[in-house]
Structure 1
C-alpha cells in the first residue's frame, strides 16, 4: 500500500563528508502545527516539517546562529547580550513594555542591597581586626614602646595559631572540608580517583601563595621597627597598583579606561599622603614597598585558589593549607635574619619583665586576631574580586592613619590631608561604578532566568532539552555532529 508523503530533498552522496552544524537540531515550538505532533512521530514527518520551516528559521535566527556557533565563550556572551538589548529596543519601538517590570527591578535592587549589606559587615570585621593587629604590631615592635624586635619570629607563631584554629573549624564543621569529587566509574573506565592535591599543584600554587603571604606580613612588620605606623600605612597603600597589575596579568579583572583613571587618582592621593615625611628611613621604606609588591601578588594567587580549586574553595580550607607554608617560610627567614640566640634572649627578657603568662598571651593571642582578619579577607575576596578588596583596603589604611594620629600622635601636613581626601573621593567613584555594575548584572540575571526556565537562551529564543534519540539524521552523522559540537543531546526551540 502506497502512502502519500511529502517528498524530502535527496541527500548528496558525499553528504557525510560535509561539516554538520549542530545548530540544525534547533527547531521552533509553537510556531505552527509542530506543537501538536507527539514526540513519537516518524522520521519522514520530522524531515518534512524541518523542510517546510527552513525559510522561517533562516529568516529569524539562522544567520546569527551560524555566526554565534563559531565564537568563543566570552565573545558568545557579548553577542547574546547585544542581541538581547536589540530585542528590547525593538520591543520598545513596537510599543511593547520592556522585559523587566518595576517589581522585577525592585527585586534586582533588593538583591544588590543584600549583597552590599553582607559585604559591608565583612568589611567592618576586616577593618576591626586589621586595625587591632596594626596597633599591636606597632606597640610590640617599635623601639619607643615594648621594643621586642623579632617581628618575623613572632609572626611565625601567629601562623601556628592560624593553622590550629583552621583545623578546629574544619573538624567541627565537616561541610567545610574539601572533598574529592567521585568520578563516574563508567566514564573513568575503572581508573583510580585523582588525588585532591597533587605535588605539582602544591609546588606551583600553594607554595608561591604561602611564601608571598608570609613575606607580605613579615616584611611589613619588620618595617615598623624604623618607620612610623602612618608612613607604613601610606607606603602600603601602593599595594593597589601591584594588585591591578597582577589582576590584569592573571585575567582576574578586565582593564577599562574608567578603572585605570580611578587607580591613577588613588595613586596620586597616596603620593600626596607620603609627601613631606620628615622621619624617613630608606630601609623601612624599601621593606614596606616590598611588602606591598608581595601583597598584590599573593591576593591574585589567593583569588585563583579560592575560585578554581576544590581543595581551597573556602577561607578555612585555604588557611589550613597555607599556614604551614607561611610558618616554615617566616621561621627560616627569622633564623637567618634575627638569629636563634637573640630570639631566645628576647623571650627571656619579655618573660622577666612582663611575666610568663602575659608574655605567652602577647605572643599567641594576636594570632587569633590575625585568623579572624584573614578569614574575613578571604570571604570578602571570594564574594567580590581582588581589585574591590584592595580598594576597600585603601579606605582601611585611611582609618589606620586616623587611629595612628590619635593613639601615637603621628602628625599630618596639609598636603597629606589633601592626598587623603583625593583617595577617599577616588574610592567613592569606584564604589559608584561597582554598584552600578552590580545593579545591571542583577537585572540581566533576572532576564536570563526568564529566558532559561528549562534550557539555554540563544538569541532571545528559549530552548529545552530533547532526547538525542530522535532521528534527525543517520546514526553515523549524528555521532560526528556530537563530537564536533561537544553537545550531549539535541534541543528544541520553545
Structure 2
C-alpha cells in the first residue's frame, strides 16, 4: 500500500532531467505500486494496466513515452513537478554530405540533358521550317501512352510500395485527377503547337510567365492571399515578357497565343496538383503513382484531339507516312521522343523526392537559360540585347517568386514545430494511485 499525504509540507526534491537515450523517447517512470495512467481530463486508460499485468517487482520499471523532452523534479514522496518543454536536440547526421550534393548535381545535370534534348527534338521535328511533322497531337499521344504504360507497369510490379492503401473515390477522381490531367495535356500540346510557329528562345521566354498565372489561380482557389510582394513579382515578370515580345522580328500571332495559353494551363495544373497532393488520403504523394493516374487521361484526351485536328487524310501523301518504311521510321521517332519525355519527368520527380520542389524550381530557372543558349548556338535563334534584358528581368522575377515560396515553406515548418511543442506541453501525462481511489 502506498500512502500519500496532501498536507502542505516542505519536502526536499531532487531535480532530475529525463533525456533521450538511443532510440527511446523520454518518459515517466512507474513505481511498482502504480497500476494505471490517467489523462488530464480524468479519462482512465485501462490498456496500460491490462498489457503489463505480468510485471513483477523486479522488472516493473518502464517508461511512458512522451513526445518531447521535459525537465522533471522528482520529490521524495513520489510527486513529479514538470518544467517547461525542451526542444529535441538536432540530429548530427542531418548535415548535408558531399555525396548528397554530388548526387543532386548529377540528377540536375541528367534533368537538364533530357529536357534540352526533348526541346530540340520537338522543335526539329515540328518546326515549320525544319521537320514539319504533320501530326504533333499523334506524337504527344504516343508520348503520354508510353508514360502511362511504363508508370502502370512499375507501380503494379511494386504494388506494395506505390499503390495507395485506400482506393480513390470516383468523385475525387473526376473532380481532382481529371482536371489536372486535362490541364497538363493542354499545357504540353499547346507548347508543342507553338513551336511550329515561333523559335525555342521566344517560346521559352513567354512560357516563363507561368508563375503569373499560377499566382492568379492560387488567389482564385484561395491557396494564396494577395499581397504587395506577390503583386510586385507579377509586375516584374510581366515587364520581362513585354521586353521579350517587343521588337520581335519573327513574331507570329498564333505561336504567341498558343504559348501563352500553355502558360495559363501550366499555372492551372500546378494549382490543381497542389490541391490534389495536399490530402494524404488520395495516396498520390509518390510521383510514379501520380503519373500512373494522370497520364492515361492525358493520352485519351490527346488521342481524341488528334483524331479531330491532325490531317489524317493527308498522311499518305506525306513523306513521314507514304510507305511502310517511312511509317516504321516515324514510329521509331515518336517512341524515341516518348522515352526522352518519360525519363525527363522521372528525373524531375526524383529530384523533388531527394531535395524539394523549391530546389527544382530554382534549378528550372537556370534550365531555361541553358535551353535558350543551346537554341541560339544550335538552332541559330536570334538573340538581341532587348531579349537579354527581358530574360534577365524574367529570371529575377521567377527567382523572387521561388524565394517567396521558400520563406513561406520555412515559416510553415516553424509554425508546425511550435504547434507540436505546444500540443505536447498541453497533454502532459498524469498518474493516479489505485489504492487511494479504492479508499
TM-score with structure 2 setting the length: 0.69
Report deviation, 1:224: 1.2
In structure 2, what is the Cα distance between the partners aligned to 1:334 and 1:469? 76
1:333 aligns with 2:297: no
Where is the strand percentage greater, Structure 1 or Structure 2?
A: 2
Shift of 1:174: 3.1
**Is the CA contact 2:237–2:397 (under 8 Å) kept in the aligned structure 1?**
yes
- SS of alignment partner, residue 249 of structure 2: coil
Change in CA separation of 1:254 and 1:104 when aligned onto 2, cut-off 3 Å = farther
- Confirm or deny: 8 A CA contact 1:259 1:430 kept in the other structure: yes
Q: How does 1:421-440 map to 2 (within 5 A)?
A: 421-427=392-398, 429=400
In the other structure, the counterpart of 2:59 is none
Gaps of 5+ in 2: 8-14, 18-27, 43-85
Q: How far did residue 431 of structure 1 move?
A: 5.8
Q: Which residue of 2 aligns with 1:133?
A: 118
User: CA offset at residue 247 of structure 1?
Assistant: 3.1
1:396 is aligned to 2:360: no
User: Is structure 2 residue 134 aligned with structure 1 residue 149?
Assistant: yes
Change (3 A) 1:410 1:221: same
State the Cα distance separating 1:459 from its structure 2 match: 8.3
**Contact conserved, 2:320 with 2:326, CA < 8 A, in 1?**
no
Corresponding position of 1:412: 383
TM-score (norm 1): 0.62
Deviation track 1:449-476 (CA, whole Å, cap 9, x = no partner) reads: xx99xxx5228947544579999x9xxx
Structure 1 distance, partners of 2:394, 2:374, is: 17
Match of 2:155 among 170, 173, 176: 170
The number of residue pairs the alignment matches comes to 372
Contact 1:140-1:148 at 8 Å conserved across structures = yes
Indicate if the aligned counterparts of 2:183 and 2:269 stay in contact, CA closer than 8 A: yes
Q: What residue is the counterpart of 1:160 in the other structure?
A: 145
Cα distance in 2, alignment partners of residues 378 and 42 from structure 1: 46
The 3-state SS of whatever aligns with 1:458 is helix
In the alignment, the residues of structure 2 paired with residue 405 and residue 393 of structure 1 have an alpha-carbon distance, to the nearest angstrom, of: 18
In structure 2, distance between residues paired with 1:248 and 1:383: 29
The Cα of 1:299 is off from its aligned counterpart by: 1.6
How far apart are the structure 2 equivalents of 1:376 and 1:254? Answer: 32
- How far apart are 1:135 and its partner, in Å? 0.5
The Cα offsets for residues 137-174 of structure 1, whole Å up to 9 and x where unpaired, read as: 10001122111131111101111111121122223433
- Structure 1, unmatched stretches of 5+, are 8-28, 48-98, 182-195, 474-494
Partner of 1:89: none
CA contact (8 A) 1:243 1:390 kept: no
Contact 1:247 1:386 in 2 (8 A): no
Q: Could you tell me how far apart the structure 2 residues matched to 1:468 and 1:209 are?
A: 54
Q: 1:263 to 1:119 in 2, by over 3 A?
A: farther
Deviation at residue 127 of structure 1 after TM alignment? 2.6
In the TM superposition, what is the alpha-carbon distance from 1:238 to its structure 2 partner? Answer: 1.0
Q: Which structure has more helix as a fraction of its residues?
A: 1
Cα distance 1:465–1:169, how it changes in 2: closer, same or farther (>3 A)? farther
Q: 1:302 aligns to what?
A: 273
Task: Kindly provide the CA deviation profile for residues 417-450 of structure 1, in whole angstroms up to 9, marking residues without a partner as x.
Answer: 12222334445555666667777888x59x95xx
In the alignment, structure 1 residue 376 sits paired with structure 2 residue 382: no
Matches within 5 A, 1:21-420: 39=34, 110=95, 121-181=106-166, 196-253=167-224, 257-308=228-279, 309-343=281-315, 345-346=317-318, 349-350=320-321, 352=323, 355-380=326-351, 392-420=363-391
CA–CA separation in structure 2 for the residues paired with 1:41 and 1:223: 71
CA contact (8 A) 1:178 1:311 kept: yes
Partner Cα distance (1:461, 1:141) in 2: 62
CA drift of 1:205 comes to 1.1
The answer to whether the Cα contact below 8 Å between 1:247 and 1:387 also exists between their aligned partners in 2 is no
Alignment map for 1:431-470 (pairs within 5 Å): 448=417, 457-458=421-422, 461=425, 463-465=427-429
Residue in 1 that maps onto 2:63 = none
SS at 1:349's partner residue?
Answer: coil
Are the counterparts in 1 of residues 316 and 322 from structure 2 also a CA contact under 8 Å? no
Quick check: 1:213–1:326 contact (8 Å CA) kept in 2? yes
SS of alignment partner, residue 312 of structure 1: coil
